[in-house]
Amino acid sequence: QKAVDGLRIDAQCYMMLTDAYGVPIQTVDGFLRLPSPVVSSLCSDANPAGFLVNQATKCIRSVSVGKCGNIQAVSMLFYINSSILVNITVQSVVIQSLNGMRTLLNSKDVLRHPMILDEMCMNVVLGVSYHITYTDAGEIIEAAASFVLGAVNKEALSVQQSFEISFTQVNTKPVPLSGNPGYVAGLPVRAGFKPQRYPFPIASTNAYGQLTILQSTSNQDCLAAQGGRTPVLFGYNMISGCKLRVTAAVKCQPLTQALLDLLKGQSFPEYVASFGNSQAENVHDWVPIIHLQNSEQVKVSSTQGLCSRS
């Protein structure tokens, strides 16, 4: 992707993610703007984008076709023109016609300015989507913007604009949704964990942020299992397990913990999402996982530490 000269995000290291959540993303001349309605439905450009806070806003922008070339907030340049340290690259540009048809431009590095043509204002910004990539140390290393441009006829006094911002940690994949908002039967139950002092649950360390169980086969040996997992699907009862063969002399304490770790898997999540589209920052959309002990469990003999059932 070729960077358009201009807007760059300050690549300062937001090193403590617990403290950096929601902190405005700084630029040399202020903050990265994410316009939003404040008192009325009109756009306010005073709303800063917060680090790690996924947001989506819509607002109304006053326009005048005769002056569209002088209205900064309807120009691409307004959203990528500030002197900062990490270039914001233009990821894509989509042109929307008056009847709503959209066409993706092949060239991403062409800066299109608003212009008057046939009594219409062309190349007006209708939507901007920012995507920010950061490291596990909290350093912003990449920023991209996708634009939707459209036309405004001379009768129009205003235009609706939409803005989004999302964040992805480097070398990870965005977590797919399992419904919007409710779960769809057959899609994975989403899960996450909350590190100490972290302000909200985040996706679990498995590939897609899902609640998983051991992927069992008919002849699977517990001690030979290599961690194969399968997602828990919403609306489906599931059962899993493995076979364990031991001699009477096997010590129970280390074996019990090894089996528990195998069944739970690495980094077992602490929360499940209430909805298929629950966002990490919405704390009340996550339900804690409660661990219940089965009445029939493996115990350690008080005399020799050998396995026995109760």
74-84 pLDDT tens trace: 999 888 876 45
Segment 264-306, tens digit of pLDDT? 877 788 889 898 888 776 778 889 888 876 544 544 443 455 5
Q: What is the DSSP string of 231-280?
A: EPBTT-------B----TT-BHHHHHHHHHHHHH-TT--SEEESSTT--T
Please give the model's pTM, rounded to 2 decimal places. Answer: 0.60
Instruction: Report the percent of the chain where pLDDT is more than 90.
Output: 9
Percentage of the chain lying above the pLDDT 70 cut: 77
pLDDT at 257 over 60: yes
* pLDDT interval class at 175 (50, 70, 90): low
pLDDT of residue 181 exceeding 50:
yes
φ, ψ dihedrals at 130, nearest 5°: -95, 145
Query: C-alpha dihedral over 49, 54, 57, 63, to 10 degrees?
Result: 50
- Any idea which of 140-154, 161-175, 291-305 has the lowest mean pLDDT? 291-305
How many residues comprise the chain? Answer: 310
Start-end of H helices in 179-299: 252-264
Tokens of 258: 């090894």
